[in-house]
Protein backbone atom coordinates (compact mmCIF):
# COMPACT_ATOMS: atom_id res chain seq x y z
CA UNK A 1 0.00 0.00 0.00
CA UNK A 2 1.16 3.49 -0.81
CA UNK A 3 2.21 4.97 2.52
CA UNK A 4 2.52 8.67 1.77
CA UNK A 5 -0.52 9.36 -0.34
CA UNK A 6 -1.33 12.81 1.05
CA UNK A 7 2.31 13.88 0.94
CA UNK A 8 2.59 12.81 -2.68
CA UNK A 9 -0.57 14.60 -3.74
CA UNK A 10 0.45 17.77 -1.90
CA UNK A 11 3.81 17.80 -3.65
CA UNK A 12 2.13 17.21 -7.00
CA UNK A 13 -0.20 20.14 -6.30
CA UNK A 14 2.85 22.35 -5.74
CA UNK A 15 4.65 21.44 -8.95
CA UNK A 16 3.51 24.46 -10.90
CA UNK A 17 4.11 26.79 -7.98
CA UNK A 18 7.63 25.51 -7.47
CA UNK A 19 8.30 25.90 -11.18
CA UNK A 20 7.01 29.49 -11.41
CA UNK A 21 8.62 30.67 -8.18
CA UNK A 22 11.82 28.81 -8.98
CA UNK A 23 12.12 30.55 -12.33
CA UNK A 24 11.54 33.95 -10.72
CA UNK A 25 14.13 33.35 -8.05
CA UNK A 26 16.64 32.04 -10.57
CA UNK A 27 16.07 35.12 -12.74
CA UNK A 28 16.63 37.40 -9.77
CA UNK A 29 19.89 35.69 -8.92
CA UNK A 30 21.16 35.66 -12.50
CA UNK A 31 20.39 39.35 -13.06
CA UNK A 32 22.17 40.35 -9.87
CA UNK A 33 25.13 38.11 -10.65
CA UNK A 34 25.44 39.54 -14.14
CA UNK A 35 25.73 43.00 -12.68
CA UNK A 36 28.59 41.99 -10.41
CA UNK A 37 31.48 42.64 -12.86
CA UNK A 38 30.23 46.19 -13.45
CA UNK A 39 29.88 46.86 -9.75
CA UNK A 40 33.30 45.37 -9.03
CA UNK A 41 34.97 47.57 -11.62
CA UNK A 42 33.38 50.81 -10.51
CA UNK A 43 36.34 53.13 -9.77
CA UNK A 44 34.81 54.95 -6.80
CA UNK A 45 32.96 52.07 -5.19
CA UNK A 46 34.69 52.37 -1.81
CA UNK A 47 34.06 56.09 -1.53
CA UNK A 48 30.48 55.74 -2.69
CA UNK A 49 29.74 53.09 -0.11
CA UNK A 50 31.33 55.02 2.72
CA UNK A 51 28.75 57.72 2.14
CA UNK A 52 25.92 55.32 3.04
CA UNK A 53 24.20 56.02 6.35
CA UNK A 54 25.51 54.02 9.24
CA UNK A 55 22.25 52.07 9.70
CA UNK A 56 22.13 50.86 6.11
CA UNK A 57 25.82 50.00 6.21
CA UNK A 58 25.14 47.70 9.12
CA UNK A 59 21.92 46.14 7.84
CA UNK A 60 23.20 45.48 4.36
CA UNK A 61 26.73 44.75 5.54
CA UNK A 62 28.07 47.33 3.17
CA UNK A 63 31.63 46.96 4.41
CA UNK A 64 31.98 43.69 2.53
CA UNK A 65 30.16 44.96 -0.56
CA UNK A 66 33.36 44.82 -2.56
CA UNK A 67 33.48 41.02 -2.40
CA UNK A 68 31.13 38.77 -4.40
CA UNK A 69 29.64 37.26 -1.26
CA UNK A 70 29.21 40.68 0.32
CA UNK A 71 27.62 42.05 -2.82
CA UNK A 72 25.10 39.19 -3.05
CA UNK A 73 24.39 39.36 0.66
CA UNK A 74 23.55 43.02 0.36
CA UNK A 75 21.57 42.81 -2.85
CA UNK A 76 19.76 39.49 -2.42
CA UNK A 77 20.18 37.68 0.85
CA UNK A 78 19.55 40.49 3.32
CA UNK A 79 16.05 41.32 2.21
CA UNK A 80 14.70 40.30 -1.17
CA UNK A 81 15.28 36.55 -1.08
CA UNK A 82 14.06 36.08 2.49
CA UNK A 83 10.97 38.12 1.60
CA UNK A 84 10.23 36.12 -1.55
CA UNK A 85 10.79 32.82 0.23
CA UNK A 86 8.60 33.87 3.15
CA UNK A 87 5.73 34.94 0.94
CA UNK A 88 5.87 31.60 -0.84
CA UNK A 89 6.19 29.54 2.31
CA UNK A 90 3.60 31.35 4.41
CA UNK A 91 1.16 31.27 1.50
CA UNK A 92 1.57 27.52 1.04
CA UNK A 93 1.51 26.81 4.76
CA UNK A 94 -1.71 28.74 5.24
CA UNK A 95 -3.35 26.96 2.33
CA UNK A 96 -2.48 23.36 3.12
CA UNK A 97 -4.96 22.79 5.94
CA UNK A 98 -6.97 25.99 6.40
CA UNK A 99 -7.34 26.43 2.64
CA UNK A 100 -8.70 22.93 2.21
CA UNK A 101 -11.02 23.51 5.11
CA UNK A 102 -12.39 26.70 3.55
CA UNK A 103 -12.77 24.90 0.23
CA UNK A 104 -14.74 22.14 2.02
CA UNK A 105 -12.52 19.40 0.63
CA UNK A 106 -11.08 18.64 4.07
CA UNK A 107 -14.09 16.71 5.42
CA UNK A 108 -13.77 13.79 3.04
CA UNK A 109 -9.99 13.79 3.30
CA UNK A 110 -10.11 13.56 7.10
CA UNK A 111 -12.64 10.72 6.92
CA UNK A 112 -10.59 8.75 4.37
CA UNK A 113 -7.17 9.32 5.96
CA UNK A 114 -5.84 7.08 8.73
CA UNK A 115 -5.99 9.94 11.24
CA UNK A 116 -6.07 13.70 11.52
CA UNK A 117 -2.50 13.93 12.76
CA UNK A 118 -1.39 11.84 9.81
CA UNK A 119 -2.95 14.42 7.48
CA UNK A 120 -1.15 17.22 9.32
CA UNK A 121 2.20 15.39 9.31
CA UNK A 122 2.14 14.57 5.63
CA UNK A 123 1.16 18.13 4.76
CA UNK A 124 3.93 19.53 6.96
CA UNK A 125 6.44 17.18 5.34
CA UNK A 126 5.25 18.27 1.91
CA UNK A 127 5.68 21.92 2.90
CA UNK A 128 9.24 21.31 4.07
CA UNK A 129 10.09 19.47 0.86
CA UNK A 130 8.43 22.14 -1.31
CA UNK A 131 10.31 25.00 0.28
CA UNK A 132 13.42 22.83 0.26
CA UNK A 133 13.00 22.37 -3.49
CA UNK A 134 12.90 26.12 -3.92
CA UNK A 135 16.05 26.33 -1.79
CA UNK A 136 17.61 23.72 -4.06
CA UNK A 137 16.83 25.83 -7.10
CA UNK A 138 18.41 28.84 -5.39
CA UNK A 139 21.50 26.80 -4.54
CA UNK A 140 21.92 25.50 -8.07
CA UNK A 141 21.45 28.93 -9.62
CA UNK A 142 23.97 30.45 -7.23
CA UNK A 143 26.44 27.72 -8.00
CA UNK A 144 26.08 28.11 -11.76
CA UNK A 145 26.16 31.91 -11.63
CA UNK A 146 29.23 31.92 -9.44
CA UNK A 147 30.96 29.62 -11.87
CA UNK A 148 29.81 31.39 -15.05
CA UNK A 149 30.68 34.87 -13.84
CA UNK A 150 33.79 33.74 -12.05
CA UNK A 151 32.70 34.93 -8.62
CA UNK A 152 34.56 32.10 -6.94
CA UNK A 153 32.11 31.63 -4.12
CA UNK A 154 32.88 28.60 -1.99
CA UNK A 155 30.26 25.87 -2.24
CA UNK A 156 30.11 25.83 1.53
CA UNK A 157 29.34 29.55 1.62
CA UNK A 158 26.54 29.15 -0.88
CA UNK A 159 25.16 26.22 1.08
CA UNK A 160 25.26 28.23 4.30
CA UNK A 161 23.34 31.10 2.64
CA UNK A 162 20.67 29.07 0.91
CA UNK A 163 20.09 26.80 3.88
CA UNK A 164 19.66 29.83 6.13
CA UNK A 165 17.01 31.40 3.88
CA UNK A 166 15.29 28.04 3.37
CA UNK A 167 15.21 27.20 7.08
CA UNK A 168 13.91 30.68 7.88
CA UNK A 169 11.01 30.32 5.48
CA UNK A 170 10.26 26.73 6.53
CA UNK A 171 9.98 27.95 10.09
CA UNK A 172 7.39 30.58 9.19
CA UNK A 173 5.66 28.25 6.74
CA UNK A 174 5.19 25.73 9.54
CA UNK A 175 3.89 28.55 11.70
CA UNK A 176 1.30 29.38 9.03
CA UNK A 177 0.38 25.70 8.75
CA UNK A 178 0.02 25.51 12.53
CA UNK A 179 -2.13 28.63 12.83
CA UNK A 180 -4.25 27.33 9.94
CA UNK A 181 -4.61 23.97 11.67
CA UNK A 182 -5.75 25.70 14.84
CA UNK A 183 -8.02 28.33 13.31
CA UNK A 184 -9.22 26.77 10.08
CA UNK A 185 -8.91 30.17 8.45
CA UNK A 186 -6.42 30.87 5.73
CA UNK A 187 -6.39 34.63 6.23
CA UNK A 188 -5.77 34.24 9.96
CA UNK A 189 -2.94 31.81 9.28
CA UNK A 190 -1.25 34.05 6.71
CA UNK A 191 -1.95 37.24 8.66
CA UNK A 192 -0.60 36.11 12.01
CA UNK A 193 2.46 34.51 10.45
CA UNK A 194 3.26 37.61 8.40
CA UNK A 195 2.82 39.78 11.46
CA UNK A 196 5.17 37.65 13.56
CA UNK A 197 7.70 37.57 10.72
CA UNK A 198 7.57 41.36 10.45
CA UNK A 199 8.00 41.73 14.21
CA UNK A 200 10.96 39.34 14.12
CA UNK A 201 12.52 41.32 11.31
CA UNK A 202 12.10 44.57 13.22
CA UNK A 203 13.73 42.98 16.26
CA UNK A 204 16.61 41.90 14.06
CA UNK A 205 17.04 45.44 12.76
CA UNK A 206 16.72 47.09 16.16
CA UNK A 207 19.19 44.62 17.59
CA UNK A 208 21.74 45.82 15.08
CA UNK A 209 21.07 49.50 15.47
CA UNK A 210 20.19 50.06 19.12
CA UNK A 211 22.30 48.71 21.94
CA UNK A 212 19.32 48.22 24.25
CA UNK A 213 17.90 45.61 21.88
CA UNK A 214 21.13 43.80 21.37
CA UNK A 215 20.65 41.12 24.05
CA UNK A 216 17.34 40.11 22.47
CA UNK A 217 18.29 40.04 18.83
CA UNK A 218 19.40 36.41 18.98
CA UNK A 219 15.76 35.46 19.55
CA UNK A 220 14.81 36.66 16.09
CA UNK A 221 14.89 33.97 13.41
CA UNK A 222 16.16 36.67 11.07
CA UNK A 223 19.23 37.10 13.24
CA UNK A 224 19.68 33.34 13.28
CA UNK A 225 19.42 33.25 9.50
CA UNK A 226 21.12 36.44 8.35
CA UNK A 227 23.90 37.08 10.85
CA UNK A 228 27.37 36.41 9.45
CA UNK A 229 26.19 36.45 5.91
CA UNK A 230 24.10 34.49 5.30
CA UNK A 231 26.49 33.71 2.44
CA UNK A 232 29.69 32.96 4.26
CA UNK A 233 31.77 30.40 6.04
CA UNK A 234 30.35 30.77 9.53
CA UNK A 235 27.79 28.14 10.45
CA UNK A 236 25.82 28.80 13.59
CA UNK A 237 23.33 26.86 15.61
CA UNK A 238 20.78 29.30 14.21
CA UNK A 239 19.77 26.88 11.47
CA UNK A 240 19.03 24.18 13.99
CA UNK A 241 17.17 26.69 16.16
CA UNK A 242 14.95 27.69 13.23
CA UNK A 243 14.09 24.11 12.30
CA UNK A 244 13.50 23.11 15.91
CA UNK A 245 11.31 26.13 16.50
CA UNK A 246 9.22 25.43 13.39
CA UNK A 247 8.78 21.81 14.41
CA UNK A 248 7.83 22.84 17.95
CA UNK A 249 5.18 25.28 16.75
CA UNK A 250 3.71 22.60 14.51
CA UNK A 251 3.75 20.02 17.31
CA UNK A 252 2.06 22.48 19.65
CA UNK A 253 -0.79 22.95 17.19
CA UNK A 254 -1.44 19.23 16.68
CA UNK A 255 -3.47 18.48 19.81
CA UNK A 256 -5.80 21.36 19.08
CA UNK A 257 -6.18 20.33 15.44
CA UNK A 258 -6.99 16.74 16.30
CA UNK A 259 -9.70 17.77 18.75
CA UNK A 260 -11.41 20.80 17.32
CA UNK A 261 -14.52 21.05 15.15
CA UNK A 262 -13.94 21.31 11.43
CA UNK A 263 -15.56 24.40 9.97
CA UNK A 264 -18.61 24.09 7.76
List interacting residues with other proteins (CB under 8 A).
1-2, 5-6, 9, 13, 103-105, 107-116, 259-262, 264
Q: Among residues 106 and 245, whose Cβ is nearest to other proteins?
A: 106
Least distance in Å: CB of 2 to other proteins?
5
Least distance in Å: CB of 108 to other proteins?
7
Least distance in Å: CB of 179 to other proteins?
20
Q: How far is Cα 40 from Cα 18, in angstroms, rounded to an integer?
A: 32
Q: Among residues 75 and 101, whose Cβ is nearest to other proteins?
A: 101
Q: Among residues 113 and 196, whose Cβ is nearest to other proteins?
A: 113
Q: Among residues 59 and 106, whose Cβ is nearest to other proteins?
A: 106
Least distance in Å: CB of 9 to other proteins?
6
- Please give the torsion angle defined by the CA atoms of residues 7, 13, 14 and 20, in that order, rounded to the nearest 10 degrees: 160
Amino acid sequence: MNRFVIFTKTIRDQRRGIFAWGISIAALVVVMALMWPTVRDMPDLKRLLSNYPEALRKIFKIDTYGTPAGYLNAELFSLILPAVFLVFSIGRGARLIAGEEEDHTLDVLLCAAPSRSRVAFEKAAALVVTVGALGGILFMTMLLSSWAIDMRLAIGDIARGTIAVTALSIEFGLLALAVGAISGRRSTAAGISTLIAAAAFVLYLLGQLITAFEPWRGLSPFTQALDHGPLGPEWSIGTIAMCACGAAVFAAALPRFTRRDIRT
